[in-house]
Structure 1
């Protein structure tokens, strides 16, 4: 099986870019190489996990210091890739469904989870298809996804029904600023070569104001905005008030 032979699950052309799927499918077998193309995500992962854990614990009245703090919660990881966030969330007790349109990406995720002895419901499908099935989850994750989507408001409108009453949607993405162009595209893609050139399109980056409006238009309420910054000396990511480049947004659906 080779990444060059990857195919994608059917999806709505209005919300999913086939070129973006193919770009990541070529890298399917390299997801768990901490020194490879996804090294930035591996470095970012502890910060992502901490934010998600703490937001879910706050929403569902859990103690984040309790190892199985997410036990009993259903989580949908949209654009799960090789499972970098699905696996640690499973270890925290969550029942995780990871979806990605790349068939070989999902095959890589399944193989790694099996090797780690983890039960994760990986599916080669799209978020729109899952929403059409009427499925709902306590938490829906869109991590580094919306900056690859042509029409963010339409995408979120179709996905919002996936969030159960009292549930949350957690998003992380890139702000559209000159600083993000300099750091996330020029710096990361062409100078440091952290990710392949062409991974991102700056005009698809989403400002917090645009994302908040899209979330509201989908019937959800934005409840938190937190930035992430990179410390080059420590080679580490930290949560921050600075949203100029990377940021999280949490949105909730009121309980009935």
Structure 2
């Protein structure tokens, strides 16, 4: 499956190279010409307005997805609970973010606080398991989530450490931040886009939040049969890593679709890598295998 996908990417004029950290990079500057893409958005009947907020902005999140995560919000910092896969994956996600953002902003990846001076927004921050290490690396972090329980958990946990107590947590959406004309050096949305109703509109909001020349990092799950077997059947029903019904296979995006909708939102994907899990070590690592979990880094036009 991975070889077939990589062959397909090559046929679409994508150059695949290996960086100094030995994971594959995808140069997406010459990806798809304008063409219709199916399954990139859904009707508006799943849009919602955040409860108790005086606003007219609708979010691209689905209401039943919010309820799903609200039900397990108290377990965000339980490394053996429903979010165990994210806790295990976090060091690998951060390694990719550290590498790409340091290169993009000419920062030293070997220093303790390489993100000093950068404003970063963590969209769909949940309980803050990504926001906190970003803050410890020196970034000025804003964490946003549409589930109020998630934000409450994130605030309580961040306040336990002076280094993370400066994080600005908001129960809001990317769309609302755009209305408020907020801007950031880097926009990060990990494991979020597969839960939204309109991925194309969501990516437009992410692009609007970035300064011209800013960076965007998105991770998600490929809509492949292998992903169905591992991320849904195995993870949710056999191994019980995730609550049943956490993911819907039809809501996943292929790497080609993600690159295209980002390109149409004025974000040019520069690098892409896969995450692979080793049952022997229980650890995740970066790989050229993007057939299941993958992460993409892009830059906004205007630099």
TM-score, shorter chain, exceeding 0.5 = yes
- TM-score using structure 2 length: 0.80
Cross-structure match for 1:184 = 231
Q: 2:274 aligns with which of 214, 227, 242?
A: 227
1:66 corresponds in structure 2 to: 111
- Distance, in Å, in 1 between the alignment partners of 2:252 and 2:136 is 31
Aligned partner of 1:245 in structure 2 is: 292
Q: In structure 2, how many angstroms separate the alpha carbons of the residues matched to 1:53 and 1:190?
A: 33
Kindly state the Cα deviation for residue 255 of structure 1 after the two structures are TM-superposed.
4.4
Equivalent residues, number: 250
Residues of 1 paired with 2:178 and 2:59: CA distance? 15
1:28 aligns with 2:64: no
Larger radius of gyration: 2
Q: Which residue of 1 aligns with 2:155?
A: 110
Write the deviation string for residues 132-186 of structure 1: whole angstroms up to 9, x where unpaired. 1111100000100001112211211233110112211100000000000000000
Per the alignment, residue 139 of structure 2 pairs with 94
Secondary structure, aligned partner of 1:97: strand
Cα separation, 1, equivalents of 2:57 and 2:101: 30
1:197 matched to 2:262? The reply is: no
Q: Quickly say closer, same or farther: Cα 1:252–1:230, change in 2 above 3 A.
A: same
Structure-1 separation of matches of 2:75 and 2:211: 34
TM-score, normalised to structure 1's length? 0.94
Distance 1:27 1:8 in 2: 19
Aligned partners of 1:29, 1:144: CA distance in 2, in Å? 19
Which 5+ residue runs of structure 2 have no aligned equivalent? 1-49
- Alpha carbons 1:220, 1:252 under 8 Å: kept: yes
In structure 1, what is the Cα distance between the partners aligned to 2:255 and 2:57?
25
Are 2:59 and 2:173, in contact at CA under 8 Å, matched by a contact in 1? no
2:264 counterpart of 1:217: yes
Match of 1:4 in 2: none
Distance 1:199 1:8 in 2: 22
Deviates more, 1:155-164 or 1:97-106: 155-164
Does the alignment pair 1:120 with 2:170? no
Relative to structure 1, the CA distance from residue 8 to residue 197 in structure 2 (aligned partners, 3 Å threshold; closer, same or farther) is farther
Show the counterpart of 2:192: 145
Runs ≥4 residues deviating over 3 A: 7-14
Answer with 7-16 or 222-231: which moved more. Answer: 7-16
For residues 32 and 224 of structure 1, the distance between their equivalents in structure 2, rounded to whole angstroms, comes to 30
Alpha-carbon distance in 1 for matches of 2:227, 2:206: 27
Any stretches of 5+ residues in structure 1 without a counterpart? 1-6
Kindly state the Cα deviation for residue 12 of structure 1 after the two structures are TM-superposed: 5.2
